[in-house]
């Protein structure tokens, strides 16, 4: 029952990210933060079991067919980056706070490298602005998780 509630909370966050992402609700100066990346990489940090994380990725892909049907390729790339991050998590610092920020930075650059390599060089200021925006939202996410969820459930150290 507890696991089901936790999974439903994650589903809620995924749907929220999809809705905000698709409608550019948090867009500032034309820069839209990558909320789906934040949710997936949040899952990389919070989920200790591979199976749980794979369920999270599957739920994301499944929900994207409803909320972002045209952009399934992008969601699959983000999901793949999430799985890659989970596999390489042990190579990071071990501090969940720094690991999350590192993953956001690498994930944002990795996503654009795969989806459109040319964009990385076409508009560096926009990339930098999005990186900063993603990191700020990542910090806010950490703050929310630390204050409103139990440490033992999330794995994020106080």
Partner 1 sequence: MMPKKYILSFILLAVLFGVYFYQKNIFISLDKFKNYNSALTELRLENQGLRQNIQELTNKLNLNSQPYLTAQVYSRYPFNNNQSLIIDAGFKAGVKVGWPVLTAEHYLLGKIIKVKADTSEVETVFSPNWRSTVKIGPLGAEALLVGGRQPRLEFISTNAKIDLDNDVLSVSPDLPLNLFVGKVSEVISQPAASLWQAKLKTDYDPNQLRKVFIITDYEGFD
Q: If binding is defined by CB under 8 A, does position 76 make contact with partner 1?
A: no
Alpha-carbon radius of gyration of the chain: 15
Q: How far apart are CA 135 and CA 149, in angstroms?
A: 20
Distances (CA, A) of 124 to 36, 107, 145: 21, 16, 31
Please state, as a whole number, how many other Cβ atoms lie within 10 Å of the Cβ of residue 83: 15
Among 4, 66, 118, 150, binds partner 1 (CB under 8 A): 118
Inter-residue contact 76 to 35 (CB < 8 Å): no
The reply to whether 150 sits near partner 1 by the rule CB under 8 A is: no
Q: How far is the CB of 147 from partner 1 (least distance, A)?
A: 5
Q: Of 88, 109, 140, 153, which one interacts with partner 1 (CB under 8 A)? A: 140
Per CB under 8 A, residues contacting partner 1 are 21-22, 24-28, 30-32, 34, 36, 68, 70-71, 74, 111-112, 115-116, 118-119, 122-123, 126-127, 130, 140, 143-144, 147
């Amino acid at each position: 029952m507890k696991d089901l509630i936790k999974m439903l909370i994650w589903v809620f966050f995924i749907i929220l990210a999809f809705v905000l992402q698709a409608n550019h609700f948090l867009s500032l100066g034309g820069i839209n933060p990558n909320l789906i990346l934040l949710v997936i990489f949040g899952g990389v940090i919070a989920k200790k079991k591979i199976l749980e994380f794979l369920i999270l990725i599957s739920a994301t892909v499944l929900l994207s067919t409803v909320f972002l049907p045209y952009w399934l390729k992008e969601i699959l790339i983000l999901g793949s980056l999430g799985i890659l991050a989970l596999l390489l998590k042990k190579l990071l610092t071990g501090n969940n706070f720094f690991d999350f920020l590192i993953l956001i930075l690498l994930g944002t650059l990795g996503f654009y490298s795969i989806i459109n390599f040319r964009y990385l060089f076409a508009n560096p200021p926009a990339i930098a602005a999005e990186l900063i925006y993603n990191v700020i939202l990542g910090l806010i996410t950490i703050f929310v998780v630390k204050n409103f969820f139990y440490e033992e459930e999330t794995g994020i150290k106080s």
